[in-house]
Amino acid sequence: MAQTYSNDAFVAFERVQKSYDGETLVVKDLNLTMPKGEFLTMLGPSGSGKTTCLMMLAGFETATHGEIKLGGKPINNIPPHKRGIGMVFQNYALFPHMTVAENLAFPLEVRKMGKSEREAKVKRALDMVQMGAFGGRRPAQLSGGQQQRIALARALVFEPELVLMDEPLGALDKQLREHMQFEITRIAHNLGITTVYVTHDQTEALTMSDRVAVFNDGRIQQLAPPDELYEAPQNSFVAQFIGENNTIEGVVQQISGNRAVVRLDSGEVIDCRPVNVSKVGERTKVSIRPERVEIDKNRLHPDAHTLKAEVLEFVYMGDIFRTRLRVAGTDDFVIKTRNAPDQRRLQPGEMIDIGWLADDCRALDA
Amino acid sequence: MAETSTNGPMLAADGTPLKQSLAKALKRQKRMALLLIAPLLIFVLVSFIMPIGSMLMRSVQNTAGTDYVPDILPNVVVALEDWDPATGELPSEAAFKAMAIDFAAAFENKQHTQLGRRFNYETPGMSSLFRKSGRPISRLKIDQVTDFKSELIGMDKDWGKIEYWATIKANSGYYTASYYMAAFDAERTLDGVQMKEPDQRIYQKLMIRTLWLSALITLCTLAVGYPVAWLLADLPLRTSNLLMILVLLPFWTSLLVRTSAWKILLQEQGVINDIWVAIGFTERLSLINNQLGVVIAMTHILLPFMILPLYSVMKTIPPSYLRAAKSLGADNTTAFLRVYFPQTLPGIGAGALLTFILAVGYFITPELVGGADGTFISNRIYFQFSSMGNWGLAAALGTIMLLIVLLLYYVYDKLVGIDNVKLG
């Protein structure tokens, strides 16, 4: 079959807008393309428009404006049942009056598949999620994690090219969730399936995805691989939303190339990497990750700026130490240090000098 | 495990059996619970269980007024013991004498007319015989009469009818099956118990009509109520609350008012017929005082009893099930039939059972809009009860209805399972 679309745009949102009441936009001018086989996560706080996007892709909501394409073809006017998209729902939506095997056979039956072929596929799908022995059970007789596996198997049994998952792990406890994160990515990669995954859990997004689209206020704030998202957030929302982050406000004093000098509101001056500040005098939020803060002077660059800090609280967390400091007028500046034999345990009240590499300190929009 | 590996019952810390310990601990709780429900329990016992028990008794007790027939006619019962109506001969002289003695005593106690009415249920004509014979028999000088047989027949030749005496003999026990025989359209003839002529089997006809119309009404409420309940469950709460008030509105209106309203709407010169004629039809429809009228009015009246259980079940079905079905490739019809509908079955079961049982016992609406061919068995029961004073037959008919409903309930339980019924 001739491909009428570029390989990079298996799924494409083109200038998509969505409004429920005709007054406010829930999704504002969304543009997104996904190559085949990608695992993309839509991450964002509730009400950010991520689930609406998923529902538009599935066909349960219609776009107010713009075009959604699947395999190069516009799908705006195709009803959900003809889109051939697998979907895993938040509450699994396993049909309670059918057994597990009947649930899995359902999409095959409506496709008028023969009985023997159906049974073979159901068995293969159940084996894939290691639930081969549970075909005769009712969903209510399964644990949450087992139901999750069945929901996944059901969404995959009819071999869709695209699978959507709407916060599928939200109802599981932490340990099971971590296990299932691994399981889902393994299956998705093995089958080479294209996946759109919606979650508000950033750890989930970071550990599972090829790329993450961070949603806020109806727009994609940043679309990037997890490491880039974490280490190089493009704006202060992403910096705040992904991982733990220290923010200090100030004013840009100088910009030259990839160096900016920022005068903090408390008066100190520090070096930063300018990300989305452009001119002198602009207000900025300076962002620095807790684990990139250095407390050992010997490890810092000789001419690096340092700040005075007072230790407020020391929390032992096993693998790391989490220390809260008072720095440049803020009381919630957090640093994380590795629990190594030579690591210092800071005492509350202690005064220390802290510093960092200028590249790790990002001057973002205020 | 360690606890279960020991032989014998589990023991509490002090060595008493655990079960006993638990029972003691729960005793106070149970007593409190019993105390809380006591008023209701007493009320139900006095106003529900006891009347039903008394109805069951009445359907088999052989009484005239407040006394049992054999207590009013003690000598006659003994004297008729050896008599066989099938021989075609009148009872012996002794029986006539016994009748004169017992009858005089009954007249003294003013029981002879009640007795006559009791036998009249079985054999029409006996009521007037007993009424007319009261004074003449009481005037007889028992020890001077030599031939009671000719004396009584001379008084009223009806005393010479064998079937009258047969009726007295057949109903001389403390308990009788004759009410049930009547309820099943059977009668006692000189040749034994036989079914009545087919065109006289009114109770059978009414019973079948009641069940059939009730089933039809249940079906109609389901057909009308299902989409409404679905809409209610699907709409946002604000809108659905408003609609729910409209559904419940009939509940807050007197049953009589609603039925009368249907009478006004459906009658020959009523609103609907006027519109019918206005749009060009010449023939007026007969929509009321027949079975159609009963079905229309009762479907409307019983609709909330179908909608509410359906609604409460549908409310618990998340919309994601239908979405899931569609995402798996099912079109709207398949998704509804295979995924939504099966999950509403408990609601359909509850609604249908409730509506059907209510319909079977309905009285006012069939009475007012049923006309001749739309009346239910309950109307006949009321007629026997109030107009004929035949409480025994009314009780027998009531008991049969009760048994039929229990039977249906049982069948339903076997087929669907009563656990699957969900009222909310």
Structure confidence at residue B8 (pLDDT): 67
**Statement: residue A232 has pLDDT above 50:** yes
Q: pLDDT: is B189 or A159 the higher one? A: A159
Q: Which residues of A touch B338 (CB under 8 A)?
A: 106
DSSP string, A283-349: EEEEEE-GGG-B--GGGS-TT--EEEEEEEEEEE-SSEEEEEEEETTEEEEEEEEE--TT---PPTT
The reported pTM is 0.78
Q: Is A33 helix (H, G, I), strand (E, B) or coil?
A: strand
Joined together, the tokens standing for residue A121 give 């596929």
The alpha-carbon gap from B338 to the nearest alpha carbon of chain A, in Å, equals 9
Q: Is B143 on the interface with A (CB under 8 A)?
A: no
- In one-letter notation, the amino acid at residue B392 is G
Nearest CB to A93; choose among B320, B332, B342 = B320
**Statement: residue A7 has pLDDT above 70:** no
The domain defined by A11-231 folds into Rossmann fold (3.40.50)
* Cβ distance of B318 and A81 shorter than 8 Å: no
How would you list the strands of the sheet with A65-70, edge to edge? A27-34, A11-18, A65-70, A73-74
What are the residue ranges spanned by the domains of chain A? 11-231, 244-365
Mean pLDDT, chain A, rounded, equals: 89
Structure confidence at residue B3 (pLDDT): 46
Distance of alpha carbon B39 from alpha carbon B393, whole angstroms = 33
Nearest CB to A110; choose among B321, B323, B334 = B334
- In one-letter notation, the amino acid at residue A215 is F
Helix (H) or strand (E) run with residue B292 in it: helix B291-315
Q: Is B335 on the interface with A (CB under 8 A)?
A: yes
Joined together, the tokens standing for residue B358 give 């209510």
Q: How many CB pairs under 8 A join A and B?
A: 66
Q: Which residues of A touch B341 (CB under 8 A)?
A: none
Q: Which residues of B touch A83 (CB under 8 A)?
A: 327
Q: Which residues of A touch B321 (CB under 8 A)?
A: 93, 95
Q: Is A86 on the interface with B (CB under 8 A)?
A: yes
Distance of alpha carbon B190 from alpha carbon B170, whole angstroms = 11
Q: Counting Cβ atoms within 10 Å, is residue A227 exposed (0-12), middle (13-18) or buried (19+)?
A: exposed
Distance of alpha carbon A345 from alpha carbon B22, whole angstroms = 55
pLDDT tens column, A63-93: 999 999 998 889 999 999 999 999 999 889 9
Q: Is A95 on the interface with B (CB under 8 A)?
A: yes
Structure confidence at residue B5 (pLDDT): 46
Four-way CATH pick for A244-365: 3.90.550.10, 3.40.50.300, 2.60.120.590, 2.40.50.100: 2.40.50.100
Domains of chain B: 2-46 (no CATH), 64-174 (no CATH), 202-420 (1.10.3720.10)
Do A81 and B322 meet the contact criterion of CB atoms below 8 Å apart? Answer: no
Nearest to B257 by CA among B305, B304, B300: B300
DSSP designation for B161 = -
Provide the chain A residues 100-159 that lie in CB contact (below 8 A) with chain B: 106-107, 110-111, 154-155, 158
* ipTM for this prediction: 0.81
Question: Is the four-CA dihedral A91, A93, A98, A99 of positive or negative sign?
Answer: negative
Q: Is A14 helix (H, G, I), strand (E, B) or coil?
A: strand
**Statement: residue A8 has pLDDT above 80:** no
Question: Is the four-CA dihedral B213, B216, B222, B225 of positive or negative sign?
Answer: negative
Q: pLDDT: is B417 or A95 the higher one? A: A95
Q: Is B235 helix (H, G, I), strand (E, B) or coil?
A: coil
Look up tokens 């004509």; give the residue: B125
* Cβ distance of A80 and B339 shorter than 8 Å: no
Please list the alpha-helical segments (H only) found in B361-390.
364-369, 377-386
**What is the residue-level pLDDT of chain B in tens, covering all 424 positions?**
444 445 667 777 777 888 888 888 889 889 999 999 999 999 999 999 999 999 899 999 999 888 899 999 999 999 998 888 888 888 988 999 999 999 999 999 999 999 999 999 888 899 999 999 988 888 888 888 888 888 889 888 999 999 899 999 988 899 999 999 999 998 887 777 888 888 888 899 999 999 999 999 999 999 999 999 999 998 888 888 898 888 888 778 888 888 888 989 998 888 899 999 999 888 888 888 899 999 999 999 999 999 999 998 999 899 899 999 999 999 999 999 999 999 998 889 889 988 999 999 899 899 989 888 889 999 999 999 898 888 999 999 999 999 998 998 888 888 777 776 665 5
Distance of alpha carbon B284 from alpha carbon A82, whole angstroms = 51
DSSP strands (E only) in A44-160: 65-70, 73-74, 85-88
The alpha-carbon gap from A122 to the nearest alpha carbon of chain B, in Å, equals 14
pLDDT tens column, A269-315: 888 888 888 888 899 999 999 998 888 877 777 777 788 899 999 99
Q: Which residues of B touch A58 (CB under 8 A)?
A: 323, 327
Residues contacting B340, CB < 8 A, separation 6+: B317, B321, B322, B325
Q: Is A5 on the interface with B (CB under 8 A)?
A: no
Structure confidence at residue A170 (pLDDT): 83
Distance of alpha carbon B347 from alpha carbon B338, whole angstroms = 16
Domain A11-231 identical in fold to domain A244-365: no
Structure confidence at residue B424 (pLDDT): 52
Q: Is B29 on the interface with A (CB under 8 A)?
A: no
* Cβ distance of A80 and B320 shorter than 8 Å: no
Q: Is B189 on the interface with A (CB under 8 A)?
A: no
pLDDT tens column, B244-289: 888 888 778 888 888 888 989 998 888 899 999 999 888 888 888 8
Q: What are φ and ψ of residue A361, in 5° steps?
A: -105, 110
**Half-sphere exposure (Cβ direction) of A303: Cα atoms closer than 13 Å:** 1
Joined together, the tokens standing for residue B41 give 């329990």
Q: Is B313 on the interface with A (CB under 8 A)?
A: no
Joined together, the tokens standing for residue B220 give 């109609």
Distance of alpha carbon B94 from alpha carbon B98, whole angstroms = 6
Structure confidence at residue B6 (pLDDT): 52
Q: Is A85 on the interface with B (CB under 8 A)?
A: yes
